[in-house]
């Protein structure tokens, strides 16, 4: 999850207008940072063959989990780092997994039934499946940890002892008949409740780290191919989260002995190992150039970095306050004075679109200006402005910034 947060923080990943999920290109970029590759249907050779993120399982489930936990958000058609990311980055592994599990169980945006690859399902009441998820977790807590278990065994046991666990929540269940093209009541338990349990295991509990799974490509009677969970194994971490055994480590990180952040007089920011290291990287990756990584990570605070910060919506005052809060030593005077001076320069140069009246000669312009009905439409003339081609606005902004002057491009 940390890798995905950093990728979203450093990239502009587009989302779809309808569902707010990553586009194909964004899904490919997210999958690239996974430790395990996305398992794809047999007719797909790589992620580039998918059409939408809904054709994936790990990417789809991971993004849904992170949206539910507010680690990510969808703003203006792009994935952005959510309000819960900073807290998440400071937790230990067990704490991160606990946060994700709680967010998943309580989520009202996740709909496992819509992920049924075998058939379309319609239910009487579309309410969040919180109780269903809790039921699956209770049954998993009865399984032995760190042993491979046939998924069919779990399904048989739940079918025998919790047959109506889904219908008690959503009411009557109807399935779509491909031949009649109508929804009919009555269904095979394994094809609806069973698939829901497999979706819980594979798309959500596996990315959290609660279970490992072994998958197989399966075809139904209509030659529809999908991935099925043949075996699952509760991990040591999952055993702790499910209450099978006690957690072996605290979920909260120790309070930091030091912040691990130093500002140099050469306008460098030096990060050393600390529990806030990931939080610092999350902040500076948004705008500052990383000039060294290794035993220590070094960022720069140059004028181009400040320009990028403003373009990303990060004010210089925000950067100053962050440095004051986390720097282990006082900020060097030359760095603080320069940042304060840059802050004062913001907004003094602006490029905005305008509507002008143009004449072929000065005499004609003066004639118009002498006409009171025309003059009332004029805005106040300014000696500090000049006209440019509309197509030159972005290029001119860059040229102004090359001369160490901030410039705002107004709508």
6-56: pLDDT as tens digits: 999 988 899 999 889 999 999 999 999 988 888 887 777 888 888 999 989
Other Cβ atoms closer than 10 A to 17: 8
Residue 253's pLDDT is what?
57
Q: Tell me which residue of 141, 132, 136 sits closest to 113, measured CA to CA.
A: 132
Secondary structure (DSSP) of 212-261: EEEEEEEE-TT--EEEEEEEEEE-HHHHHHTTSS--SS-SSPPPPS---E
pLDDT digits (tens, 9 = 90+) for 149-190: 999 999 999 999 999 999 999 999 888 877 778 888 888 899
Sketch out the chain's domains with CATH numbers. 1-90 (1.10.10), 110-253 (no CATH), 261-345 (no CATH), 350-409 (no CATH)
Across 258-411, the runs of DSSP E, i.e. the strands, are 261-263, 268-271, 290-292, 297-300, 350-351, 408-409
Q: Is the pTM of this model over 0.85?
A: no
Greater model confidence, 2 or 64: 64
């Amino acid at each position: 999850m940390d890798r995905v947060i950093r990728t979203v923080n450093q990239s502009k990943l587009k989302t779809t207008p309808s569902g707010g999920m990553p586009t194909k290109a964004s899904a490919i970029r997210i999958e690239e940072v996974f430790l395990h590759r996305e398992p794809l249907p047999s007719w797909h050779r790589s992620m580039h063959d998918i059409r939408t993120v809904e054709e994936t399982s790990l990417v789809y489930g991971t993004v849904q989990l992170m949206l539910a936990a507010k680690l990510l958000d969808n703003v203006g058609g792009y994935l952005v780092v959510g309000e819960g990311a900073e807290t998440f980055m400071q937790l230990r592994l067990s704490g991160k997994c606990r946060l994700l599990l709680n967010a998943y169980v309580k989520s009202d945006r996740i709909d496992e039934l819509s992920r049924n690859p075998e058939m379309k399902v319609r239910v009487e009441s579309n309410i969040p499946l919180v109780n269903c998820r809790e039921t699956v977790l209770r049954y998993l807590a009865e399984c032995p940890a760190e042993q491979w278990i046939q998924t069919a065994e779990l399904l048989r046991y739940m079918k025998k002892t919790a047959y109506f666990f889904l219908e008690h929540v959503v009411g009557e269940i109807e399935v779509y008949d491909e031949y009649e093209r109508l929804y009919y009541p009555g269904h095979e338990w394994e094809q609806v409740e069973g698939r829901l349990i497999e979706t819980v295991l594979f798309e959500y509990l596996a990315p959290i780290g609660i279970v490992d799974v072994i998958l197989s490509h399966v075809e139904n009677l209509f030659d529809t191919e999908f991935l099925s969970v043949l075996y699952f194994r509760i991990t040591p971490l999952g055993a702790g989260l499910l209450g099978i055994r006690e957690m072996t480590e605290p979920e909260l990180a120790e309070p930091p002995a030091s912040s691990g952040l130093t500002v140099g007089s050469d306008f460098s920011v030096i990060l050393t190992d600390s529990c806030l290291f990931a939080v610092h990287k999350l902040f500076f990756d948004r705008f500052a150039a990383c000039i060294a990584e290794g035993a220590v990570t070094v960022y720069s605070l140059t004028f181009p970095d400040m320009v990028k910060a403003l373009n990303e919506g990060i004010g210089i005052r925000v950067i100053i306050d962050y440095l004051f809060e986390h720097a282990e030593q006082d900020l060097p005077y030359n760095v603080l004075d320069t940042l304060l001076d840059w802050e004062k320069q913001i907004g003094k140069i602006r490029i905005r679109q305008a509507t002008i009246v143009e004449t072929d000669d000065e005499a004609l312009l003066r004639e118009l200006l002498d006409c009171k009905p025309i003059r009332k439409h004029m805005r106040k003339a300014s000696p500090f402005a000049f006209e440019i081609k509309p197509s030159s606005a972005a290029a001119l902004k860059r040229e102004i910034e090359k001369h160490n002057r901030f410039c705002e491009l107004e709508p």
